[in-house]
Structures are given as C-alpha cells and as structure tokens.
Chains A and B, each alone.
Chain A
C-alpha cells in the first residue's frame, strides 16, 4: 500500500545550520508530493509541493526535489532560523486523491 517514511526526530540545530529532513514514499502511479509545517499552537499549512518527477518545490528558503528513481522528497534549508522551529510533515497525494502523511519531524532551532 501507500506509505510515507520520515527521519525520526526531534532534530535540534543551532541557528544558521544546514537542515535536511529525509522523506521517502511508497505509492503507485504518479503521486504529488508535499511538505507541510505546523508551528507551535497553529494548524498545518502547506510549505512547498512538487507534482512531477524532477520538479523542485521551494518556499521560505526551503527546497525539496521530487526524485522518482529513489522515491524521495528530502527537505533542505541552507541556514535555519529560530522561527523555523516547528513540526514538518511529508505528504503524498496518490492517483486517487488520497492524501497521506508521514509521522512528522520536530525541529528545534536554538540561538
């Protein structure tokens, strides 16, 4: 069946460090891929997306590239800030509009 796997958290980084959060998926057909973010005390919101192979999604300094050959969609940011502290969810929309999520990765950025 369809599934999403993310690296285990929590992740703690110093400000200006490089961030990578790994995400791999299992899905049939040609899924669309997403990263959502949940800031403390807030609801989930879309961070970025990619709808076909080799697409790169980007927003707020975050990037992720749709790698069909490795079924991956790793999230990266070159220099994190304290305001990036949040929980990050990788998500897959399958061919039949079903949207599933990974377990989430909690990120804490310390000054």
Chain B
C-alpha cells in the first residue's frame, strides 16, 4: 500500500521558533510537494521538488525553506515561526509527467501547526 508519512500530526510552537516538518514517501516518486491548507483558500503550494537536492518555489514560499537530501524525504522548514503560519500542512508525492499515472498525487495525513 502506498504511503506518505508526515512526522507530526499536531505541533504547537512559539513565535520565533524554528520548526521542522518531515515527510517520507515509500513509492520511489520523483516529485514531492508541500502545501498549506486554510479554510476558504484551499491548498496553496509552498515548494516542490522534482529530484534530490532540487527545489522550486511554489506560490507562497516566503517564510519557508525546504530540504531534499534523499529521494524519499522532503522537509519543510520555518526558520522563524510566526502566527500567520498557523495552518494545516500537507505533504504529497507523485511520479510527475512520466508513465500512465502522470500527475496523481498521494497525500500524507497532514500536520496541524499552531504558532502562539
């Protein structure tokens, strides 16, 4: 069974703290993504990666960075958390535009981050 695992379901952090969100996939997918999900705004793309050590900015990268040192792992980093980064964070992986399953993403269960 395919699986995308996010390290923490719930986190509570204080303003200014550094926050790491980890995501691991076991499907040997090339592409990995980080989104945040907010009511009324849907899913907004923060960063994505199409290969190890490669990354591309999404639509809202400000205040975030990412790391992909291994194919199966994609980390989202908040260098200095702020209250407006309180949100649900979703990790996803996919094959990309190769093969018949082009584009389908598999999602983790999400990490709900609260910044106080």
Asked if B74 is an interface residue, CB under 8 A from chain A, the answer is no
Chain B residues within 8 Å of A49, by CB: 103-104
A102 and B103 form a contact (CB under 8 A): no
Which of these binds chain A: B18-26, B37-45, B65-73, B77-85? B37-45
A8 to chain B, nearest CB (A): 9
Please give the distance in Å from A37's CB to the nearest CB on chain B.
Answer: 11
Interface size of A by CB at 8 A reads 23
What 0/1 pattern do residues 84 to 106 of B give for CB contact below 8 A with A? 00000010101011000011110
Interface residues on B, range: 20 to 34
From DSSP, what is the main secondary structure of chain B's interface residues? strand
Contact between B104 and A46, CB atoms less than 8 A apart: yes
Grouping DSSP codes into helix (H, G, I), strand (E, B) and loop, the A interface class, with mixed when no group exceeds half, is strand
Known: A45-B107, A99-B48. A104 touches B31 (CB 8 A): no
Complex CA gap A97/B110 in Å reads: 21
Question: Could you tell me if B41 and A99 are in contact, using CB atoms closer than 8 angstroms?
Answer: no
Q: Which residues of B contact A (CB under 8 A)?
A: 31, 33, 35, 40-45, 48, 50, 56, 58-59, 90, 92, 94, 96-97, 102-105, 107-110
